Each structure stands twice: as C-alpha cells, then as structure tokens.
Structure 1
Amino acid sequence: MEITRKNFAAQFDNITRDLKKSCFVGFDAEFTAILSGDCFKYRLFDTNEERYNQIKNDVGQMIMTQVGLTMFQYERDLDTYVAKGYTFHLGPQVFGDIDQSFIFQASTLKFLCRHNFDFNKFTYEGLPYLNKEEEIRVRHLLKENSQFNNLASTLDMADEKMLQQHCSEVSKWLCIGDDGTMYLDVESPTLRYIVHNEVRIRFPGVLTTDSLGNSHKVLIYRDKYVEGANNAPVAILEDNLMNHLLGFSQIISLLATYQKPIIGHNMFLDIVLLHTQFIGPLPMKYSKFKKNIHEMFPVIFDTKLISHEMGKKLTFDEVWKSNVLQDLYEFFSEGKCKKLQTGVNLIKLSTPFDVKQTYHEAGWDSYCSGYCFIRLGHWAACENSGKYRPVGPTEKIAALAPYCNRINIIRGAIPYMSIVGDDPPRHRPEWLHVKALNERVINVGKVASALASFGSIDIKPYGNRTALIAANSQFTVNNILKQFKNSQEYRISPFSVYRHSVAGQVAMWGVATIAGSLVLYLLHKKVK
C-alpha cells in the first residue's frame, strides 16, 4: 500500500497494529543522489572508519524519497508468513526557521524515471519528517510560547493572504451574521494552528475548536461561554501540529519502540541516511555513529552479507548467479535452492503489489529482502540441526544470529561493519609497493592498465615515483609478484612501512646513525 499525506493519518493505526504483530520488518529506501567522484569511490584500501569519514560531510545533502516497510507476521497454525507491505513517500518541509534542503543528481533522476518513480507524490504528497534535533528545537519553541509569533512572521505571501482572508470572514460573520457557529476550511496543519491562535487574539470573545470528524475545519462559536463547548486546549493544538510535522518520523519511533528486527539488503548507506534524516547530523566519531544506530535499532540483519557468507557453502552449480537483491529473490522464489526442497514456509502478500511492480521501488524491495531472509534463515536453521523441516521465525533469527548487526561493506579493506563493538580485522592481502624505474613521475593510470588482467585491484600514488596497490585476493597478489619479478619497468614488492614509508626510513636511518655513533664511541674508548 502506498502511504502519502492524503492517507497517512487514516492508515496510522493499521500500520501500528501490523508492526506490533510482526516478527520482523523488511526495509528498503530510495535516495535523491548517489555520492560520486573520485573521493567517494569504493576502494580496497578503505577501512570502514575511513569510508565513513569520507562521506559524513556530504551525505547530509541526500534524502530518502521513499521508504519501504514490509511487516512479516507468522501464522503458526498454517506455518505461513503473511507480508503486509507499505511504500511511504517522503518529502522535505519548511517550518519556521527549519528549511530542509537536498540535492537531486541528474543521473539519479534518470535512474528513477527508468523505474517509474512518481515525482508528483514526492513533491505534492510526500510525508514530512523531523530528525531528533529538529524535533527538540520545535518543542522548545512551543514550550516557550514563541513558536506562534515566529511562525506568523515567516509566512509566505500566499499563506499570509489566506490568513487575512480567514480573519476577514470571521469579522464579517460577527458583524452581520446571525448563526451561532461558523466553519473555516484550512487544509494546511501549520496554517490551521496559526488560524486558531490568530482568531483568539483578534476576537477574544469567540471560542475555536476542531470540527468533529473533519480535521481540516476550524469550528468557531460566537460566544466563548456557550454551554457544552470549550476552546481546544493549546496543548492539543500543539500536539496536532507536532504530529503533522513529525510525519514519517512517527513510524521510525514505532520501529525503535517495538524493536522488531530490521531486515535490509546492502544497508550501509541506508543506515547512514537513517541517522541524518531521523536522528541528526552525523557525529564526528565513527564509534558514536554506530552507537546511535544501535540504540535506535538494536537488531539489524543485512541479507547482502548473509548471502555472501552462506553462498560459500554451495557449489558453483548450486549458487545464485549474483547476490544482488533481484537475483537472490528470484533464486529463492523460483525454487532454485536445492537445500530448501522440504519443510519450506509459505510466504504470501496480504495485498498483491501492482502487476507493473519493478525492482527499486522501496515497498517491493523491502518485501524481497524479508523473503530472502526467511529462506536464508530456514536454510541456516536446518543446517544447524542436520534436518530439513518446518522452522519458525524465532529459530530462523537464532540461526542467523552470527550475522546480526553486521552491515555489508562493498569493496573495502574490511568485510563488514559491526554495529556493536569493534569492526573485524582487514581481510584483504597486504598491500604492494610499486616503483617506476624509467619515469621521474609514476603514471598511475599506466600501472593500472598493466595490472588490469591480474584481477581486481586499486592503486593510489605514494610519492613521485611510487604507488601502492591493494588487491582483492592473495591469488592476484601472487600473480603480480611472479610476473613482475624481473620487470625492467616497475619494481613491485610487498609493502613495508619500515622500508617504504618516509617515517620508516627516517626511523631506520636514525637507528643506524645512533648505532654507528655508539660503535665509534666504543672503538674510540677502546683505542684510548
């Protein structure tokens, strides 16, 4: 189901109920941009902390335009999972001095158009949101009773004109009307809050409240002392305003409250944007970022990492052709996994997706992530017990516990990010050091071309005539060393800090100098 501003309030209770009944939640997001340029390329040299530091100052310009959540509920009697999927359309908002901004890359626009992204829902119907810092600012202003004056002074011309028009209608009604009540139709929640306050200030003899059954209408009583009616409390007006401003942030709060396991696929950028969009700006320290994410979402599984590790147990003929989400989902949904021929749970959607559904639509991808998680969990649980049989959600989650809170890292020095505790050690081979023998300045592009046939590598300059090479496997390293052993163009050897770094060489010369001086001193003393 698609959720926009139009139906969010009406569906909120259903979403809450579905989430509460779920055993885990599939998650996916679509973005306005992808970080590009040489400084954002995935490199085999990068530690997770280095990669975080590379993007933390720039990722704040990106936002999620769609978030998909699929609540998987388990019917024990039928041994069946019922998936209830939602696609939330998000849009930035302006409120007082909060003016959310973002970038939209042309390449991302092209990509979204190819996958039938609905830009009208993003711009006209996208749900608002606030991160924790923005929410605290707004609540503080409301507490000090300064938000109304601040809002009224920042209205644009159209809203200011609409406010004056509503006040004129009230003035005219009080002067020449006979009815005891009147209605103002105010669609904007922010303007509705201002109208309540402005009418009470300009016309102190009236009473204003929300019209029962219609949240858009402001009901005004001519006599504030009329029996059976009361001014809508300011606290209620402020709560209504806050609920609107929080928008999708309320769903994030529900996820944090119920602490259901979150299932995604290749989630590094997802959790970075979850922080910027719903917690606050990224902290300077990588460890603080991980702590913040873990406090909000204590249980996260990344099916990209799980499938990579579990795929090692399959033969070449048995394994999926790749573990991108589409290939992985189709591998399991089409019954290609030979390990899952018996005792497999039925998974059904409560409401089928559109027949034109494509991948890279957040709701559908969140369903696919959860589907793959169920199949991988079933396989892992049966491997543990040595028997293929029906497996419930608790046992699946327990079987995949070794992968909990580990986020896949693409093409890095470290295989995954551990949200809890320290990251694992490097799993790539030691670097290689290359020196150009016939050039005063090394041509890194030329070196890359010369080594391209050996496997996946990255190269970065390391002085005028030297560079460093990072390879994805020891096999690649061994081949390079073997082939360039007698090269007349490049000298390639395993990198040594002491031999190849300036600091290491200075230290070695320092040690040598001290040792030499000591020897001379001892010889001089002996001669004397």
Structure 2
Amino acid sequence: MIMTQVGLTVFQYDREHDSYVAVGYTFHLCPQAFGCVDQAFIFQASTLRFLCKHNFDFNKFTYEGLPYLSKAEEANVHQQLKDKSLFNELNTTLEIDDEKQIQNYCSEVSKWLHTSEEGTMYLDVQNPLLRYILHNELRMRFPNVLTTDSLGNSNKVLIYRDKYVEGATSAPMAILEENLLFHLKGFSQIIDLLALYKKPIIGHNIFLDTVLIHNQFIGPLPKKYSDFKKNINNIFPIIFDTKYISHEMRNKLTYDEVWKSNSLRDLYEFFSEGKCKKLESGVNFIRLSTPFNVKQSYHEAGWDSYCSGYCFIRLGHWAACENMGKYRPVGPTEKLTAMAPYCNKVNIIRGAVPYMNLVGEDPPRHRPDLLHVKSVKERVINIGKVAFALSSYGVVDVKAYGKRTALVAAHSHHTADKILKQFKNNSDYKISMYRAYKHSTAGRMTIWGGAIITGGLLVLLLTKKVHK
C-alpha cells in the first residue's frame, strides 16, 4: 500500500490582523524505477472504487506523479555513488527506447566532431536520469571533449570540442550526482524540510498515515512497535491528531451542543459554520489564499489537510479559553500551549488502546478481551451470519480464525458481557472469552507437548524403579 496523494497546507499567522493565511497544496506521488530500485505497490478493488467516487485523477498520478525515496533507498544510492557502481547499474537496466536515445545523442556528437568546426554544441535532454548517463557516456567515449550543464537551461547539455578551452570547466561529478539525487528524491525533499524545521504537524485520524510515511520515506516497517514510534517521532517530533483531540474535547459539550460525528467533514463544518456557541466571538479569521472547490474536494488530500489545520486552530482557541476561564482573542503560542496534553497522541480506530503515544508507553487497554466463537452446527463458519447475529448487541468486528471458529472484538465491556450472557446456552454458537492456551494452535500444541513430555518422564521413572 502507498500514498498516492499527500496534502500539505501551511498556516501563517498574521499578527497585525490577528488572522491566519493558509496556502494549500496537493502532491501526487508515483513510484519510480531506476537501477536496482523498482518500487512496487498494490491496489484493492475497494480502494479503486473509493478513488473513482471522489474523482481521483489517475492520469496525474501516473504521468505527473512526483518520485520519492525512503531514507533506506537514499542510503543505498549514496553507497552506489561512492563505490562508482550506480552508472553501470543505470546503464544496464535502461529500457530499449532510452538506450537508443543515448546512442542517438552519441552519434550526433560523433558526427559534429568530424563534420563541423564549431566549438560547442547543445543537446536537449529532458529526462534527468538520461542526462546523468549521457554526461558519463560522452566523457568515456570522447575523452577530449568537455561537458557541462547549460547556464539558464538545466535541460541542455553543453559540449565543448576542446576540454582545455579557456574559461570552461567540466561539470564536477559531485554536481552531476547531486542533480541526479535531487531528481530521484523528489517529494522526499519536502519531508526532509518538514523534519528540519520541526513545525507542528496536524492531521486527522493519522495512524495509517504514520505507517505509510514510515514505509515510503523512512524505510520498511521495523519489527518492533517501539522502534516504529521512535522513528516517526525523530522526523516529526510534534504531531497532533484532531480525531483524538475531538474525542477528548467533546466531553466538555452537552449532547445538543456537540458535533454530529468525529469525521473530518462534520468537525470542519461544525466550526466553519459557527455552530460552536463557545466560539461566537474573538476567534481568528482564517483565509485560504487559493480557494478550493468544496463540493468536489472532500477526501482530496490538499483540502483535507486544510480542514485538519482549520479544526486544530479552532480546537486550540477553545482549549486555551477554557484554561483561562474566559473567551478572548488567542495567539498561536497560547493555542499550542493549551493543546500540549494532546501532543503526539494518535487516534487508533477500534483499538485495544484509545491512542498511540509516540513519546512513551501507550495507555492501558480499555477494550474487552476477544471472544471466541465456535460453530456448533455448521462445518464451515459463516462470518457474515455471525456478525449479523451479534450486531444487535453493539459494535463488533468479526474475523475468521479457523474452519469452524472466529474471533470477535467487541466495542465495549458492556457489549461483550451481553453477548456472553445471551449466547450462554445457544444451540448454534458456543461463545467464550478467548484464551490463547486454550484456543490457539500454538497454545494447544504447547499443552499437548507438555503432557507428552510429562507422560514420557513419568514412564521413564517408573521403568527405572521396576528395573531397580
């Protein structure tokens, strides 16, 4: 799974007018292939349907998507540049059309050297990867020429007939390599800048986002969950999740005052339409420098990023005023101070814990233990049928666990208790609390293995006593 879009909205505070100006961007990302790097990804049918429903531009993703490199891939490229193996790697993995193009460029240079007396020639090379290869190829084939990038047009390769011509120098290999890496890193440079300046990063329901960010811009997910959290915190030390914040702060409102749901759209419209009675005066004006088309933009990354930032500013204003006990204009520093208790806590949907703490131990689990369901009559358990049978008792998630068994995650202890009580004497399903030693294959094998070893030792002891 990969992110095909990344939304980034920068909010700048205007102290003179006590307002915010927001500049929003949507970046399309597309995996790249060069040398030994061939980034792979998968689509689910449901994902395609969702993207089509929300007018995702597949042409822009495919033809104009920005490249990117993870830190692990970047380190590999640096090593290849260091040991001089990248050029050969790129050369041997060129597509046929690109290889022909390089040959055509070299033929042009050869013809120019033999038939013309002009001191220089230009080659227009749009592809940065081919431009790097061409510089190297020309210097190998024609050792007497000098190649450099044309001033004022980075796409053109300037070639001097005489490498000793006065006032001209070949582009240093370090510069060529730097230009190549600049292209290969693509959007990763934005991630680097965000990490460098350590600005607060705001998102809504961003647990999956952090997983994808790690996979695409840091490297493969580590084996340890603690290492994952540490890696994310190293690049983004200040993260706020408006989904988690809204869950916590909604308890300060009455049923009639609170927003309809914690979805980003409902939360944004609650604040933007002035439905928060506590924020009727003194709030900062927020202006988008380039307006979005609201009707077509929800689930479009740039618009969602703007909505997340907008909600954060409103939630921060509310929290700061609650701390002070009065409602008045609030600056960005006061907002961040008021939101400090929510910093680096990322919402987890239907998880055993309410949030992921990026800077310490996660909170104690608040969900009930899993339930184990065994079909009494059916030889192959029907998951849909189980889910339907349990849905009237509360929110549940059902997952197949074997041919005749399933596991159930209940939303609350109340729901789990109701299910256990109602199905105590049920003729279709036998439901009990899940216990690994009892219900898992490994647990049963351990018990049987222990029994066999104990039995074997007992027989051995008895045998020894008989022989004595």
Query: Which range, TM-score by smaller chain?
Result: 0.7 to 0.9
Could you tell me how far 1:101 is from its partner in structure 2? 1.2
- Structure 1 residue 150 corresponds to structure 2 residue 93: no
Aligned amino acid, residue 164 of structure 2 = Y
Query: Could you say if the C-alpha distance between residues 468 and 124 of structure 1 is closer, same or farther in structure 2, counting changes exceeding 3 Å?
Result: closer
Residue correspondence of structure 1 range 50-449 to structure 2 within 5 A: 62-354=1-293, 357-430=296-369, 445=383, 448-449=387-388
Name the SS of the counterpart of 1:85 in structure 2.
strand
Could you tell me how far 1:106 is from its partner in structure 2? 2.8
TM-score under structure 1 normalisation?
0.78
| Structure 2 residue aligned with 1:17 | none
Could you tell me how far 1:470 is from its partner in structure 2? 4.0
Could you tell me how far 1:324 is from its partner in structure 2? 0.9
Could you tell me how far 1:480 is from its partner in structure 2? 4.1
Query: Could you say if the C-alpha distance between residues 419 and 455 of structure 1 is closer, same or farther in structure 2, counting changes exceeding 3 Å?
Result: same
Residue correspondence of structure 1 range 502-517 to structure 2 within 5 A: none
RMSD value over aligned CA atoms? 2.9
Please say if residues 444 and 467 of structure 1, whose CA atoms lie closer than 8 Å, have aligned partners that are also in contact. Answer: no
Once residues 139 and 404 of structure 2 are traced to their aligned partners in structure 1, the CA distance between those partners, rounded to angstroms, is 77
Could you tell me how far 1:245 is from its partner in structure 2? 0.5
Please say if residues 440 and 464 of structure 1, whose CA atoms lie closer than 8 Å, have aligned partners that are also in contact. Answer: no
CA deviations 1:282-335 (Å, max 9, x no partner) are 111111111111111111111111111111221121111111111111111111
Please say if residues 381 and 405 of structure 2, whose CA atoms lie closer than 8 Å, have aligned partners that are also in contact. Answer: no
Once residues 148 and 121 of structure 1 are traced to their aligned partners in structure 2, the CA distance between those partners, rounded to angstroms, is 30
Q: How many residues align?
A: 447
Query: Could you say if the C-alpha distance between residues 211 and 81 of structure 1 is closer, same or farther in structure 2, counting changes exceeding 3 Å?
Result: same
Aligned amino acid, residue 362 of structure 1 = A
Aligned amino acid, residue 288 of structure 2 = L
Could you tell me how far 1:172 is from its partner in structure 2? 1.1
Could you tell me how far 1:123 is from its partner in structure 2? 1.2
Higher relative contact order (CA 8 A, sep 6+): 1
Aligned amino acid, residue 198 of structure 1 = E
TM-score under structure 2 normalisation?
0.87
Query: Could you say if the C-alpha distance between residues 281 and 468 of structure 1 is closer, same or farther in structure 2, counting changes exceeding 3 Å?
Result: closer
Aligned amino acid, residue 89 of structure 1 = H
Once residues 79 and 447 of structure 2 are traced to their aligned partners in structure 1, the CA distance between those partners, rounded to angstroms, is 57
Query: Could you say if the C-alpha distance between residues 115 and 464 of structure 1 is closer, same or farther in structure 2, counting changes exceeding 3 Å?
Result: closer
Query: Could you say if the C-alpha distance between residues 104 and 442 of structure 1 is closer, same or farther in structure 2, counting changes exceeding 3 Å?
Result: closer
Please say if residues 54 and 296 of structure 2, whose CA atoms lie closer than 8 Å, have aligned partners that are also in contact. Answer: no
Aligned amino acid, residue 208 of structure 1 = T
Query: Could you say if the C-alpha distance between residues 499 and 203 of structure 1 is closer, same or farther in structure 2, counting changes exceeding 3 Å?
Result: closer
Once residues 313 and 297 of structure 1 are traced to their aligned partners in structure 2, the CA distance between those partners, rounded to angstroms, is 29
Please say if residues 147 and 158 of structure 2, whose CA atoms lie closer than 8 Å, have aligned partners that are also in contact. Answer: yes
Query: Could you say if the C-alpha distance between residues 430 and 154 of structure 1 is closer, same or farther in structure 2, counting changes exceeding 3 Å?
Result: closer
Once residues 396 and 297 of structure 2 are traced to their aligned partners in structure 1, the CA distance between those partners, rounded to angstroms, is 34
Query: Could you say if the C-alpha distance between residues 355 and 374 of structure 1 is closer, same or farther in structure 2, counting changes exceeding 3 Å?
Result: closer
Name the SS of the counterpart of 2:286 in structure 1.
strand
Name the SS of the counterpart of 2:168 in structure 1.
coil
Aligned amino acid, residue 374 of structure 1 = I
Aligned amino acid, residue 166 of structure 1 = Y
CA deviations 1:84-133 (Å, max 9, x no partner) are 11111111111111111111223222221222211221111111111111
Could you tell me how far 1:403 is from its partner in structure 2? 1.3
Identity %: 71
Could you tell me how far 1:435 is from its partner in structure 2? 7.6
Once residues 110 and 439 of structure 2 are traced to their aligned partners in structure 1, the CA distance between those partners, rounded to angstroms, is 83
Aligned amino acid, residue 148 of structure 1 = F
Query: Could you say if the C-alpha distance between residues 97 and 383 of structure 1 is closer, same or farther in structure 2, counting changes exceeding 3 Å?
Result: same
Once residues 53 and 44 of structure 2 are traced to their aligned partners in structure 1, the CA distance between those partners, rounded to angstroms, is 14
Query: Could you say if the C-alpha distance between residues 167 and 322 of structure 1 is closer, same or farther in structure 2, counting changes exceeding 3 Å?
Result: same
Once residues 457 and 343 of structure 1 are traced to their aligned partners in structure 2, the CA distance between those partners, rounded to angstroms, is 43
Could you tell me how far 1:500 is from its partner in structure 2? 9.1
Aligned amino acid, residue 254 of structure 1 = L
Q: Which runs of 5+ in 2 are unaligned?
A: 452-468
Query: Could you say if the C-alpha distance between residues 497 and 212 of structure 1 is closer, same or farther in structure 2, counting changes exceeding 3 Å?
Result: closer
CA deviations 1:172-210 (Å, max 9, x no partner) are 111111221110000110110111111111112211111
Once residues 401 and 24 of structure 2 are traced to their aligned partners in structure 1, the CA distance between those partners, rounded to angstroms, is 50
Aligned amino acid, residue 303 of structure 1 = T
CA deviations 1:325-359 (Å, max 9, x no partner) are 11111111111111211210111112222466411
| Structure 2 residue aligned with 1:455 | 394
Please say if residues 435 and 442 of structure 1, whose CA atoms lie closer than 8 Å, have aligned partners that are also in contact. Answer: no
Could you tell me how far 1:474 is from its partner in structure 2? 3.6
Name the SS of the counterpart of 1:228 in structure 2.
coil
Please say if residues 290 and 419 of structure 1, whose CA atoms lie closer than 8 Å, have aligned partners that are also in contact. Answer: yes
